[in-house]
Amino acid sequence: METKTETNLSHLNEFILLGFSDLPNLQHILFGIFLVIYINILIGNGLIIIITTSDAALQTPMYFFLGNFAFLEICYTSAVLPRMLSDLWTRNKTISLLACAAQFFFFFVMAFTETLLMAVMAYDRYVAICKPLYYTLIMNHKMCIQLVIASWISGVPILMGQTYQVFSLPFCNSNVLNHIYCDMPTLMMLSCGDTFWNEVSVYADTVLFGFFPFLLILSSYIRIFISIHKLPTVIGRSKTFSTCSSHLRVMGLFYGSGIIAYLQPKTSYITGIEKNLSLFYTSLTPLFNPLIYSLRNKDVILAIKKLFSKLSH
């Protein structure tokens, strides 16, 4: 299915996303599986958004951030799954240069926003547990809105420049991407130009939007654990830690899957290993997050019960 020529393809106007073309007999089965996953992501995260905005008991900074995080998860997975579902159903693997650049830009903006928003949520828990007397003063409504806006827009100008850099590269001999979406490493592997500065900027962005937020999250939870350890009763420690455990699980899933995928050797992009790993952080993590936040959270479960009770009447 590859499109190979002897000339430079720097003026190409489309790519070919291989996706799961190596499984021709399973295309419609895979379509059904990922359609169910996508619908559940929309329902689960949509439910979190509804209850955090409509239930009076959940009008706190923690649930304000949780509602924004659920909306972000919908946007994040929608940058990849609808296109993948369309390719599986129609078996049309081509994607225009403009559509590829748009998918690239929006996916990485959402990914960077997710790291920043998780850092904000960790900071919120740090203030609530370590500085409870100042919590309402520090985490006031204006501050919450500013932190959310900063999380959403901080990566936009950098990703605009990154997108321009990547799609200005000359692409040679092939326009085939062995992936389910337009990912940075696979795109740069097709380039016959000098990608050194592109790779440097990728690592710089990773440090800025991945490593630094991770350090902030780690620092917040180290201080939280120290404060929890000082609590006089085991019940008090357990109750305080339960408010943080869900966030830790979500953070572990996101960072764990991302690290495993992006620290793979370059051969993984040739053989397609990274393509399979990417399903975890683009599909399964957004699917599990609503369950993680709701199953052990009594406030969320109560709000869901109240919502269904109203709907049933």
Contacts (Cβ under 8 Å, ≥6 apart) of 124: 61, 62, 65, 139
d(CA 167, CA 300): 44
pLDDT of residue 270: 56
pLDDT of residue 172: 78
* Domains defined along the chain, listed by start: 17-312 (1.20.1070.10)
d(CA 166, CA 184): 8
pLDDT of residue 191: 82
pLDDT of residue 5: 43
Distances (CA, A) of 303 to 219, 224, 250, 311: 31, 27, 21, 12
For residue 157, how far is the Cα from the chain centroid? 18
Q: What does pTM read for this prediction? A: 0.87
Averaged over successive runs of 10 residues, the pLDDT of the chain (313 residues) comes to 46 83 86 95 94 90 94 95 92 90 94 93 92 92 96 93 88 83 85 78 80 89 84 61 74 76 59 75 88 79 85 75
Whats the size of the chain, residue-wise?
313
pLDDT of residue 237: 60
Angle at 255 between CA 210 and CA 168, to 5 degrees: 50
pLDDT of residue 3: 44
